Amino acid sequence: MIRIVRFFQIAFCMQFILTALPVSAVDFTAAEKRKILRHGPWPLPATPDPSNRVSGNPAAVAFGRVLFFDTRLSTSGSVSCATCHRPDAGWTDGRARSRGQRAVDRNALSLFNLRFNRWFGWDGAQDSLWAQNLRPLLDRREMGIGAAGAARLVRADRSLSCHYRLVFGTAPGADDDRVFVDLGKALAAFLETLVTGRTPFDDFRDALAGNDAAGRARYPAAAKRGLRLFVGRGNCAFCHFGPAFTNGEFADAGVPHFAGPGRADPGRFGGIRKLRKSPYTLLGRFNDDPTRSTAVKTRHVRLAHSNFGEFRVPGLRNAALTGPYMHAGSLKTLADTIRHYSTLDEERLHAGGERILRRLDLSGREQADLVAFLDTLTEAESGPKVEVKSEDLFCR
């Protein structure tokens, strides 16, 4: 009897010791650890955009904030940038396909971390953030005011004209395109400030880097299992790598790309064509970079048949706040998205025969673990708040 009691005492002590032990670095292999560490540190250093002479200028940030919420930049007078990019909805609108003055073919991408992008829009038809801001002003389905209309509004409105002078040092001139592009650059200065904050994953990643056992122990077990899948068997990090969790390029995600009956959305294929025709690129006269080094990517971009049906690889920070997902909002939740990749009907092949997308065949628990990991990429705060600042009041 004494031996039995002693056995249970030892078993209880062993269980207590094992439970109390901190989670050690051996939870992940050395190779897994290297992959995890590549997703940080966060936030990234912020550097001004050399193609935009007012990037980082506080007065430009204030002007861009005013423009972002101004419905007069639409022909109907009822639509602003914030119509499709709501601050309280992860800087998107929660719709499968967004609606400005009319319905469009695509889901509104979130505005988080745009300053780190290489290309802009679902199809990459713009090569700078300031050029991307001009697109909805030109599209009649969205805002549609156009270069001449936007320039005319700024010249006629005392407050907007005042902001323009504060930012650019002169009154808005007679060159409609120049004034129009300057509005895009002021908007870009504002949007560059929308950088996501620290997340539970960042704390865990830094604890892993610093061999902080207590910090690693605070990270949920399900998230750890999901992270292992993310960098390992799931191979999600092939496209979603680096501190912003995106390679900045385009991929076929295995979702339909029909925009309507008999009408396909060409994705990146169409985006490159638009880029080549646009007067608002880094190759043109509006690039403020005297070295033109920012234009190298645009000069060397090439059109390929494999680009058809490819869409932007979005960053995953704050992804839990920005559904629905995919270019046309075809997947409602993160769980739906993981299930999609786990149950694909077929493997996708690149034009050269290279396998670029394969079914993951994840179990229900594995899918839940991946979602648990993605949830830890959400910043601790509820999201950035946009407040009226003193600079906004200078021109009222």
CATH number at residue 101: 1.10.760.10
CA dihedral 80, 81, 86, 91 (to 10 degrees): 180
The answer as to whether 9 is a domain residue is: no
Q: Which pTM does this prediction carry?
A: 0.89
> In this predicted structure, what is the pLDDT of residue 356?
59
> In this predicted structure, what is the pLDDT of residue 359?
86
The answer as to whether 222 is a domain residue is: no
Mean pLDDT by 10 residues, the chain (396 residues): 43 42 60 97 96 97 97 98 97 97 96 97 98 98 98 97 97 98 98 97 97 95 97 94 96 91 94 97 97 95 94 97 97 97 71 63 96 96 54 63
Closest to 185 (Cα-Cα) out of 277, 59, 279, 292: 59
What whole-number distance in Å separates Cα of residue 323 and Cα of residue 31?
32
Residue span of the structural domain in which 136 resides: 58-196+384-393
Tens digits of residue pLDDT in 8-53: 344 444 444 434 444 333 379 999 999 999 999 999 999 999 999 9
> In this predicted structure, what is the pLDDT of residue 127?
98
The answer as to whether 94 is a domain residue is: yes
The answer as to whether 113 is a domain residue is: yes
The answer as to whether 120 is a domain residue is: yes
Tens digits of residue pLDDT in 323-381: 999 999 999 999 999 999 999 875 554 444 455 577 889 999 999 999 999 999 999 86
The answer as to whether 206 is a domain residue is: no
> In this predicted structure, what is the pLDDT of residue 380?
82
> In this predicted structure, what is the pLDDT of residue 393?
52
pLDDT over 90, % of the chain: 83
The answer as to whether 248 is a domain residue is: no
How many domains does the chain fold into? 1
The answer as to whether 93 is a domain residue is: yes
> Quick check: 327 and 311 in contact, CB under 8 A?
yes
